[in-house]
A and B are shown apart, each in its own frame.
Chain A
């Protein structure tokens, strides 16, 4: 599935959170969305998920306009999302949470899917534990399992490794990388972790004050701005 954004604007009471966004993410590619806090990344992801209504413009998933309710539901069936600001019910066990979301996404052979994900993400021993009792690294892996429960064709990752220790962060990055390759998943990754973006993303979009100010591959951006790595390139662009 592909994502096409056409002439997208979002205004909140006179404040322009997103201004004239135009981009396309091809099926099976991983694209990074970089920018300082408040630059419009979450608003953009919110509009792609259908949670926020654009003021102007279109979000087309596989050429379907998600503003049409029927399209929104059929697209959401094949999409999923993870964010450190969104949690799963803490009082439910890991297994109960995965069952609930598996049924919500109408996953076939749900128990097999849960077993596979729990094996892959080392969650087997926590299946009966309450989600709220897990460490932040373990919770993050449960959220990742939830976001993959429907084998999504599009995955929106909003800072997927925020607040994780380096080891767990690396594990999650490797898993996402392998998963995307294996399943030809289209991924939009919003992150502040430059090494993560360098490692995972084929294409990077830099956002500032609601606009995309530059885009390209990691190497192209570093070369174009005469810097030695992505972090320095990012700092140059946001401070200009």
Chain B
């Protein structure tokens, strides 16, 4: 892999963000609105729920973690969709870029894009609601890493669909995460789900991340088993998504969808 080529693909998207104030505003706007909304909901539950009693910021912290996951995934998809919308897609695939370079460059650029949106929201949490996500302590980094890996995995899977089936797959890009959110137990414990659904949920790294976040904030104890389970599952899913991406690329070459792909 060559760093200069990956850097080129990254700056293509960073130029795009830098050159448009409405685009930056759009990146910041949704996470901020999300935090304000969940901030008030969180405040309400803190005051009136036995489960969340005296545990200020559990819902709000989970909301920010979920938004980070959502933005990671959407950012990856958006970077790819930008190429389709701008009809630049073919130029990219006739450039000497390896698939591994494309995946790596988009993964890191998606992180930058996500952080632009999420950091202001995180900074607002404290003055507005007296909550800081830093309360999660050192494991916070591992939780973020897990969510970032899962978000990227979903991004790669949706991108594989775009490669294979063309722009018609775009709607799936937007809906993929909404499908998994109920099973991810973002705002409620796993035990709320029916037993048969718990078996399915246990296959998602999200469950371990959010169970662990709640456990740290409510019980003040860290269970590294949850964190390790989440990371291991992520590693498996990420590897599978990369394999699927390669297959989709070769499928797209066979089908001819790489030529003139655009709206």
Q: Could you list which residues of chain A lie within 8 angstroms of chain B, going by C-beta atoms? A: 10, 12, 42-43, 46, 49-53, 69, 73-74, 76-77, 79-81, 83, 85-93, 96, 99-106, 130, 146
Q: Is the CB of A88 within 8 A of B91?
A: yes
Q: Is the CB of A51 within 8 A of B5?
A: no
- Write the chain B residue with the least CB distance to A90: B86
- Write the chain A residue with the least CB distance to B9: A104
**Is B88 in contact with chain A by the CB < 8 A criterion?**
yes
Inter-chain CB contacts under 8 Å: number: 111
- The CA of A80 and the CA of B98, in the complex, are separated in Å by 16
Q: Is the CB of A100 within 8 A of B15?
A: yes
- Write the chain B residue with the least CB distance to A51: B258
- Write the chain A residue with the least CB distance to B23: A91
Number of interface residues of B (CB under 8 A): 34
Supply 11 A–B pairs (Cβ within 8 Å), ascending by A: A10-B256, A51-B259, A52-B259, A69-B98, A73-B98, A85-B262, A86-B91, A92-B12, A99-B11, A100-B11, A103-B11
Segment 1-31 of B: residues with Cβ below 8 Å from A: 2, 4-5, 7-9, 11-12, 15-16, 19-20
- The CA of A128 and the CA of B98, in the complex, are separated in Å by 30
Q: Could you list which residues of chain B lie within 8 angstroms of chain A, going by C-beta atoms? A: 2, 4-5, 7-9, 11-12, 15-16, 19-20, 82, 86-91, 93-98, 250, 253-256, 258-260, 262
- Write the chain A residue with the least CB distance to B98: A73
Question: Could you tell me the distance in whole angstroms from the C-beta of A86 to the nearest C-beta in chain B?
Answer: 4
Q: Is the CB of B95 within 8 A of A101?
A: yes
- Write the chain A residue with the least CB distance to B20: A91
Closest A-B pairs by Cβ, 4 of them: A103-B8, A76-B96, A104-B8, A53-B253
Known: A43-B256, A51-B93, A92-B15. A103 touches B86 (CB 8 A): no
Q: Is the CB of B82 within 8 A of A105?
A: no
- Write the chain B residue with the least CB distance to A92: B15
Known: A92-B15, A100-B15, A104-B95. A87 touches B4 (CB 8 A): no
Question: Counting chain A CB atoms within 10 Å of each CB, which of B7, B20, B87, B98 scores highest?
Answer: B87
Q: Is the CB of B82 within 8 A of A89?
A: yes
> Which residue of the partner chain, among B16, B82, B86, B259, contacts A87 with CB atoms under 8 Å?
B86
> A100-B11, A103-B8 known; 4 other A-B pairs, CB under 8 Å?
A50-B94, A50-B253, A52-B256, A69-B98
Q: Is the CB of B19 within 8 A of A93?
A: yes
Q: Is the CB of B253 within 8 A of A146?
A: no
Q: Is the CB of B8 within 8 A of A100?
A: yes
- Write the chain B residue with the least CB distance to A81: B94
Known: A89-B86, A100-B12. A105 touches B258 (CB 8 A): no
Question: Could you tell me the distance in whole angstroms from the C-beta of A92 to the nearest C-beta in chain B?
Answer: 5
Question: A77 — which chain B residues lie within 8 A by C-beta?
Answer: 96
Q: Is the CB of B16 within 8 A of A46?
A: no
Q: Is the CB of B256 within 8 A of A46?
A: yes
Question: A73 — which chain B residues lie within 8 A by C-beta?
Answer: 96-98
Question: B250 — which chain A residues lie within 8 A by C-beta?
Answer: 53
Question: Could you tell me the distance in whole angstroms from the C-beta of A60 to the nearest C-beta in chain B?
Answer: 17
Question: Could you tell me the distance in whole angstroms from the C-beta of B82 to the nearest C-beta in chain A?
Answer: 7
Question: Could you tell me the distance in whole angstroms from the C-beta of B7 to the nearest C-beta in chain A?
Answer: 6
- The CA of A117 and the CA of B159, in the complex, are separated in Å by 34
- Write the chain A residue with the least CB distance to B260: A85
Question: A91 — which chain B residues lie within 8 A by C-beta?
Answer: 16, 19-20, 86
Q: Is the CB of A96 within 8 A of B15?
A: yes
- The CA of A104 and the CA of B91, in the complex, are separated in Å by 11
Q: Is the CB of B96 within 8 A of A105?
A: yes
- The CA of A88 and the CA of B95, in the complex, are separated in Å by 13
Question: A130 — which chain B residues lie within 8 A by C-beta?
Answer: 19
Q: Is the CB of B19 within 8 A of A86?
A: no
Question: A87 — which chain B residues lie within 8 A by C-beta?
Answer: 86-88, 262
Q: Is the CB of B258 within 8 A of A52?
A: yes
> Which residue of the partner chain, among B87, B254, B256, contacts A86 with CB atoms under 8 Å?
B87
